[in-house]
Chains A and B, each alone.
Chain A
Amino acid sequence: MTPTSVSYRRIYVWELPVRAFHWINAAAITVLGLTGFIIGHPFSVAYTQEASFQYWFGTVRFIHFLAGYIFLINMLMRIYWGFVGNAYSNWKEFIPTSRSWIGDIKEVLKVDILQTSVHGPVHVGHNRLAGLIYFGTFWMFLFQALTGFALYAPMSRLFVGKLATWIVPILGGDQNVRHLHHTMLWFYVAFAIVHVYLVFYHDYVEGRGTTSSMVGGWKFEREDYLDKH
């Protein structure tokens, strides 16, 4: 194949608040997942001292709750940014609203799953399927925050926990809330694997700098494709 001269344009896609949200969220979920796993699997660490001299399980829970607050506030910040940020971060980017949008989703599915060789312009922000998946993921975040804060309510005097307790009777009691909260851990594990893989994969086959875009904010797009947008 002869080298074709293709020129690329640099586009500032992810503004700083979006990138900050992404990494704070990633860090918070990692911490929440690890500490949550320990809370759900208490194991013996130190048995040499009596209770007066150690508090490690309480500390693990404290870190979980602290990260929980960070997770929640960060998420609220991102929702706000979905209304004031640039076009790529707008909330409308996540909900399919046109027929061609659905067509784009089908296209991505074909390329990703059936591995067909169709190629051409891909939406510059989130690809259309990813956008929809992140929309679903947002509800999962919300669910995790609701169940988490509902469990947290009896041990907290702040109003935040009480805002979530309505979900307890709906889910059938604290035990079920805890079970669902715990089960959701595995959603995050599966999501993280697929998410990281797909970023690498798209970067690999499209060569638009998808991976680094979440660090610097820039994506690259062929100029001839940009015209078609």
Chain B
Amino acid sequence: MRLSTGDPRLRAAAYQAAALAAVILLGWYLVSNTLANLEARRIASGFAFLGREAGFEIGETSLIAYGAADTYLRALAVGLANTFRVALIGIVAATALGALIGLARLSRNWLVAKLAAAYVEFVRNVPLLVQLFFWYAVITENLPGPREAVEPLPGVFLANRGIFFPVPAWSAVHGWMLAATALGAGAALAHARWARRRQARTGRRPPVLAGAAALLVLPPALAWLAGGAPTRFSVPALAGFNFAGGAHLSPEFAALTAGLIVYTASFIAEIVRAGVLAIDRGQFEAAYALGLRRGLAMRLVVLPQALRAIVPPVTSQYLNLIKNSSLAVAIGYPDLVSIANTTINQTGQAIEGIAIIMAVYLTISLVISALMNWYNARIALKER
């Protein structure tokens, strides 16, 4: 084979090799330069700092016990747990609220539809950061101090230090109730499967929701009664300038979660609405013509088809929500980014700190994408 410089394939390969070489050179330059700078400032590179004592307090340590004497690694784990707490609650609530508002916008009730439209248009056109400041201000500026806290329900207090509410004082009986709930959940799943088989056999469908509700509520209730029906509650009570006892949601957590839910729900609502509208009217009409009522036509015919169009964009809204939760830093909620920031400030290990943030967010994003791709493939339309 004769090679000439005029061969287009050869030229393309040469360009690609040159581009690759340029990228490698640039990367090598950046790394060696950074290492040299770090050395000049006597900052050791590497992740050894993670084992050192952090020395700062964290306002919210809900899932992982933490004190200033713990390590940076533990502090970052607390931040990650805080991020997960916001993301999980945010995703579940934004999905529910978004679906509700999306369907409300399709309602035949004029007022309901217009209210939903106004919500969407207003919320998604105001920057999220502004909304977070708004929610934070609503809580910290408009609510009174703990001494004058609003008490909408007995034992529940709204104050500029957050929301305080009673929780049952922990006892061994509650452990048994948890176990009973798990058993009940298993039984509810079995019941749903039995109901489906029974519908297949006899045509009649036993009440699945009522059965599941009973199976979820009764076993823990029985365990509670068998355990002597403990009724002791830990109730928040004013102690000095703040409340003690009960459970507590900080203003930062409440503002961040509310902001993310309200904001993301407006996008999810539009996705759900567009998904339903994209389904041909003929599908509704064919379902109605067979005698299916509106709810069943929606559930059995339209939504299963709309879901295929809804899942991919909603996935990217979930990813957005998780990434947007890093705006926590602006209102002082100790999420992963906020704690990594503090860590970087104290140790100077900026590269490692940012690498940790990037690795964590990348991992979360890839896991969610993979889950949603799997789900999407499962419901894909079979044609031709």
A and B co-occur in one complex: no
**Chain B residues packing against A (C-beta within 8 Å):** none
